[in-house]
A = this chain, B = another copy of it.
Amino acid sequence: VIERIVRCVQDVIDECDLKMDQVRGIGIGAPGSVDSAKGVVSFAPNLGWHDVSIAKELSKQLDVPVFLENDCTVSMLGVYHVELQAKPSDVLGIFIGTGIGGGMIIGGQIYRGFTGCAGELGHMVIDIHGPKCGCGNQGCFEALASRTALFQQIRAAVKEGQDTLLTEMLGRDLEDMRSGDLRKAIRRGDKLVARIVKEAAEHTGIAVANLANILGPEMILMGGGVIEALDQEMMPVITKTARDHAMDGALKDVQIVASQLGDHAGITGAAFLARRELSKGSR
């Protein structure tokens, strides 16, 4: 993975007609628990990583400072500082992609907790008898509503012989399936995909209600590839389910919105992170 990241960075710099010595720093967002001070990915279940010194390794190979944060924290930095112009005081970001993670702004600052890994809301169990999650638990939010979960449910339904336009679009084995394919299928009237996406949105709505009850944020911002691709299909269901399930007052005057940055939240935030850390260093 690290070799591919190095090659990808070199390719991008090349495509932009830049040279490495024109790059002052690199920001990187990694999934899972991250020790940002040490630049170490402590645990990333979706990658099978334990204690990987990714920042040091990349910095050595690319000869430039590398700054690491959790991927959802990085997305949150992008959304908060660039999209929201750092205006609201308390923001909860929920990012739904391959996995599900969160970022929290409390009092205008990223909140990472004492453990440094607060915001792991994809592993909030909401269905104790639900499907197995990569983390070992059953019924985590992520096991019910991530892209991985959506694709698993669709593949299982196809195996059971249920009909979907996706097999016409992508072939029987559904290789190279993407979130955007689900949107296309739904808009062409695919009932199976519509039902599976609706259920994921309902589960997301319950997770949003849980988090609003616990955290009482000013704004809830939904992002990530799944939300970007299925914004119109999911957001109305998420919002209604959340309002039906939250305590009275927990969502009063609270906006629940899809990020305009979509899947660019991460790279925007990673750039913001590198610039901020470099400016600290130069003070």
* Whole-angstrom distance between the Cβ of A140 and the nearest chain B Cβ: 9
Provide the bound-state CA to CA distance between A74 and B63, in Å. 54
**A interface residue numbers (CB < 8 A to B):** 32-33, 42-43, 50, 88-90, 102, 106, 111-121, 123-130, 135-137, 139, 203, 206, 209-218, 245, 247-254
* Whole-angstrom distance between the Cβ of A182 and the nearest chain B Cβ: 22
> 18 new A-B pairs (CB below 8 Å) besides A42-B248, A126-B127?
A32-B247, A33-B247, A42-B249, A43-B248, A89-B114, A90-B114, A106-B111, A112-B216, A113-B216, A115-B249, A116-B249, A117-B250, A124-B214, A125-B126, A126-B126, A127-B129, A128-B206, A137-B245
Provide the bound-state CA to CA distance between A274 and B120, in Å. 36
Report yes or no: A210 in contact with B43, Cβ–Cβ below 8 A.
no
> Which one of A210, A211, A212 has the highest number of Cβ atoms from chain B below 10 Å of its Cβ?
A210
> Which one of A88, A116, A121, A249 has the highest number of Cβ atoms from chain B below 10 Å of its Cβ?
A249
* Whole-angstrom distance between the Cβ of A250 and the nearest chain B Cβ: 6
SS of A interface (majority) = loop
Number of copies: 2
> Which one of A88, A129, A216 has the highest number of Cβ atoms from chain B below 10 Å of its Cβ?
A216
Provide the bound-state CA to CA distance between A13 and B8, in Å. 74
Chain B residues with CB below 8 A from A120, complex form: 213-214, 247, 250
Chain B residues with CB below 8 A from A119, complex form: 214, 216
* Whole-angstrom distance between the Cβ of A163 and the nearest chain B Cβ: 27
* Whole-angstrom distance between the Cβ of A105 and the nearest chain B Cβ: 11
Provide the bound-state CA to CA distance between A216 and B214, in Å. 13
* Whole-angstrom distance between the Cβ of A178 and the nearest chain B Cβ: 28
Report yes or no: A114 in contact with B206, Cβ–Cβ below 8 A.
no
* Whole-angstrom distance between the Cβ of A275 and the nearest chain B Cβ: 26
Report yes or no: A254 in contact with B214, Cβ–Cβ below 8 A.
no
**CB contact under 8 A between A125 and B245, given known A113-B90, A117-B216:** yes
Chain B residues with CB below 8 A from A128, complex form: 126-127, 130, 139, 203, 206
* Whole-angstrom distance between the Cβ of A137 and the nearest chain B Cβ: 5
| Shortest Cβ distance from A112 into B: residue | B216
**CB contact under 8 A between A118 and B215, given known A113-B90, A127-B128, A206-B125:** yes
**CB contact under 8 A between A125 and B250, given known A113-B215, A218-B114:** no
**CB contact under 8 A between A124 and B249, given known A115-B216, A215-B113:** no
Report yes or no: B250 in contact with A217, Cβ–Cβ below 8 A.
no
